[in-house]
Amino acid sequence: MKSFEYGDKEISSLDISITVTSMIIGVGILMLPRELAKSVNGSDGWISMIAAGIIAIGIAWILAKIATHFSSQGYYVYASAAITKPLAFAAVLLLSLYFLSFCAYEVRAIANIAKQYLFETTPVEVIAFAFLMVNVYAVSGSRVGLIRLNILFIPIVLLVAVLVLLFSLGMVDLKELKPFFTTNWKSLAAATKTTAFSLLGFEVVLFYITMMNRPKDAPKAVAIGVLIPLVLYTAIYLVCVGVFSQLALPEITYPAVELAKEMQIPGEFFERFESIFFTIWIMAVFTTTVMAYDCTIYGLRSLFPKPKHKTWVFILSPIIYLLCMYPKNLSDFSKMSTFISYEGIIVSILFPILIYTVAKLRGVKSDAS
């Protein structure tokens, strides 16, 4: 008898594409227009976004291609054969810590934004704790269930984002998009770096590749998963510039949320659409956070297989909470974001590329052959 299509623990290329999209779309887009406006003139930020997108898609494709070489044995086993067990242990541990810090960052970010727009009198500590507990409950269940939850959430998130863009077009002043091509290359490079950091998240393929029923499709699937947020981010940035102007954007903490406040719905059916927008966006941040949490457990269980899945869930939850409460102010929080971004580039991109290079030189057995 043929098994039920969604009754097993395998995932398809569509699942991976949506998982990557869900992992990338998070709190970054809420602040990205402001960060770009600090570096560029007019609407030149789109140039940096396209450049960062091309780089991100290229790196994501390479990373997924590398991941196909250990689609059965897993990252740790493959790395152990290439660079010895102690070095492989360190590499996977650092990758797990990266996802742990990624998770903590998302928890603190959603707590900060929720306090500003939804729960003005509620302490950040309480909001962060409540959000973390929801993630603890979710990550305690099936891993494949979490991945397929993205298929339910991401269409809703994208639909709401498109509605915000459509209803904001009437407020766009095309004059604010000018002048074009006046930003120097150094500023464009700085904006490209900022955008590239916002497109991190495709690293989940290093772990989830072992669950794919057709690993060879991973490079294309991951590239599509990066392309969707890139198009969305570019559209939101251009509309924000057209509505608020390039000079005003650096003074707005969360331009995407403010855009939802300013949008005009015919008939004034909703008076505070930003509350609906932000509530839906919590779903996007939730999927990002819970997958980062799950990847942390995935990596640690490959190093320490004896503790059960739920044991790791409860061990890590207080660590995540304490880590997310570490920043004392927005300056510390910004530094945390920068540190995590650089950490991600090193441990989730450079390390796998180096390990793959050594593996090829040493003739390590590949699952792709």
Confidence of residue 227 (pLDDT cuts 50, 70, 90): very high
Alpha-carbon distance of 146 to 338, in angstroms, equals 28
The SS3 assignment for 140 reads coil
Report the pLDDT averaged over residues 24-36.
Answer: 81
CB 369 within 8 A of CB 130: no
CB 128 within 8 A of CB 111: yes
Q: Is the pLDDT of residue 240 over 90?
A: no
What pLDDT is recorded for position 2? 47
Report the pLDDT averaged over residues 180-196.
Answer: 82
What pLDDT is recorded for position 93? 93
In sequence order, what are the residues at sequence separation of 6 or more whose Cβ sits closer than 8 angstroms to the Cβ of residue 26? 106, 109, 201, 284, 285, 288, 289
Helix (H) or strand (E) run with residue 320 in it: helix 309-324
What pLDDT is recorded for position 319? 92
Helix (H) or strand (E) run with residue 115 in it: helix 85-117
Q: Is the pLDDT of residue 339 over 70?
A: yes
Alpha-carbon distance of 18 to 131, in angstroms, equals 22
Report the pLDDT averaged over residues 22-38.
Answer: 82
What pLDDT is recorded for position 4? 45
Q: How many residues does the chain have?
A: 369
Exposure pattern of 165-178 as b/e (b: 16+ CB <10 Å)?
Answer: bebbeeebeeebbe
Q: Which of 5, 81, 30 is nearest to 229 (CA)?
A: 30
CB 202 within 8 A of CB 63: yes
What would the pLDDT profile of 299-336 be if each residue is shown by its tens digit? 898 888 888 888 888 889 999 999 988 888 878 888 88
Alpha-carbon distance of 305 to 77, in angstroms, equals 13
Alpha-carbon distance of 85 to 328, in angstroms, equals 38
Q: Which of 133, 118, 144, 137 is nearest to 10 (CA)?
A: 144
What would the pLDDT profile of 242-276 be if each residue is shown by its tens digit? 888 878 888 887 787 777 777 666 555 555 666 77
Q: How far is CA 331 from the centre of its chain?
A: 21
CB 228 within 8 A of CB 84: no
Q: Looking at 13-22, 81-90, 109-118, which range is the least confident one?
A: 109-118
pTM over 0.75: yes
What pLDDT is recorded for position 90? 92
Report the pLDDT averaged over residues 88-113.
Answer: 90
Confidence of residue 80 (pLDDT cuts 50, 70, 90): confident
- Residue 219 tokens read as 């490079």
CB 366 within 8 A of CB 73: no
What pLDDT is recorded for position 273? 65
What pLDDT is recorded for position 265? 62
Q: What angle do CA 105, 110, 114 make, to 5 degrees?
A: 155
Percent of the chain predicted with pLDDT > 70: 93
What would the pLDDT profile of 134-147 be if each residue is shown by its tens digit? 889 888 888 888 88
Confidence of residue 75 (pLDDT cuts 50, 70, 90): confident
In sequence order, what are the residues at sequence separation of 6 or more whose Cβ sits closer than 8 angstroms to the Cβ of residue 210? 70, 71, 72, 74
